[in-house]
């Protein structure tokens, strides 16, 4: 049996909406995805390649957990370029050779709660995103610009409530082309910008951390004031993250890196993976 390692996977939450335009006005309602799932899981559609605007997608797996009212499915973005190589120790790298009509697949996994019209979606860096997933659904259902399915992120802005039973170990953010007057009032962000401005600098990456001190934390109120100030200047800040530490039920420390600008509800789930295999849909 191969080595086992832990992988933390991010899932984001979306409402599925059917948006219609009637008499020049837009309205939306929850959309039931089950009819579409029945369509694409039919034998004539399963494993078939679908052409989207700039890529291909292939439907591979579908499971229905009736007790939980949950469907789980996985689809793959197909590519035949930028193909990786395989390597054995002591040997030269060998490019993976694809046969005709053969592709590298990059997966997106969707858990669908049909009663509440909510999807829990995990997408990899090179997989299709939710906009392409919606395009696929609209194409196979025959919808047009007057009626289309869309995925709406469930809002969950970073607030003080997220710091309950947690403490902040690091805040890091970067900005470019920011002028001193961009800061409002006497907020903490303005004082940082002004200090950079003394050197005639307009770009910087700032890391505020407790270092390696095991049980240390940044001052809670000052840290949240800075985070709130950063959120109020999204047009100027490139990236902004905070590292949080909390204790789990088994008294093990959990470190979580959160995006300060993240607006969609999400969860991080830990999987034990053997031999670099991504968890099967049944384990999700």
Token output for 136: 């696929």
Residue pointed to by tokens 């890529």: 55
Check whether 258 has a pLDDT greater than 70: yes
Specify the DSSP element, H or E, that contains 4.
strand 4-22
Alpha helix stretches (DSSP H) within the chain: 34-40, 130-141, 188-197, 220-231
pLDDT tops 90 at residue 231: no
pLDDT confidence of residue 210: 93
- What is the pLDDT at residue 78? 94
State the Cα–Cα distance between residues 250 and 37, nearest whole angstrom.
39
| Angle (CA) 31 32 36, round 5° | 110
pTM: predicted TM-score of the whole model, two decimal places: 0.64
Judge contact between 32 and 54, C-beta under 8 A: no
pLDDT tens readout for residues 3-61 = 676 777 778 899 999 999 887 788 889 999 998 998 888 877 888 899 998 899 999 88
Mean pLDDT in the chain? Answer: 83
- In this predicted model, what pLDDT tens digit does every residue of 128-137 receive, in sequence order? 889 999 999 9
Among 163, 86, 150, 164, smallest CA distance to 117 is for 150
pLDDT at 280: 52
Distances (CA, A) of 279 to 79, 111, 160, 205, 270: 22, 14, 33, 36, 10
Higher pLDDT, 213 or 218: 218
């Amino acid at each position: 049996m191969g080595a086992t390692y832990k992988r933390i996977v991010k899932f984001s939450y979306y409402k599925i909406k059917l948006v219609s335009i009637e008499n020049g006005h837009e309205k939306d309602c929850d959309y039931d995805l089950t009819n579409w799932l029945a369509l694409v899981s039919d034998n004539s559609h399963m494993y078939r390649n679908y052409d989207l605007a700039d890529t291909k997608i292939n439907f591979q797996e579908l499971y229905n957990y009736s007790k939980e009212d949950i469907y789980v499915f996985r689809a793959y973005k197909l590519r035949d370029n930028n193909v990786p190589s395989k390597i054995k120790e002591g040997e030269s790298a060998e490019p993976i050779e694809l046969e005709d009509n053969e592709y590298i697949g990059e997966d997106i996994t969707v858990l669908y709660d049909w009663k509440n019209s909510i999807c829990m979606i995990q997408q990899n860096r090179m997989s299709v995103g939710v906009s392409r997933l919606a395009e696929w659904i609209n194409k196979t259902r025959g919808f047009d610009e007057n009626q289309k399915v869309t995925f709406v992120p469930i809002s969950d802005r970073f607030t003080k409530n997220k710091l309950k039973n947690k403490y902040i170990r690091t805040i890091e953010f970067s900005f470019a082309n920011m002028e001193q007057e961009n800061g409002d009032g006497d907020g903490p962000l303005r004082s940082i910008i002004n200090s950079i401005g003394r050197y005639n600098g307009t770009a910087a990456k700032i890391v505020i951390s407790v270092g390696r001190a095991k049980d240390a934390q940044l001052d809670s109120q000052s840290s949240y004031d800075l985070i709130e100030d950063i959120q109020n200047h999204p047009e100027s800040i490139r990236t902004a993250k905070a590292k949080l530490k909390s204790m789990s039920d088994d008294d093990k420390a959990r470190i979580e890196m959160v995006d300060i600008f993240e607006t969609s509800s999400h969860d991080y789930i830990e999987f034990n993976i053997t031999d670099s295999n991504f968890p099967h849909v049944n384990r999700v």
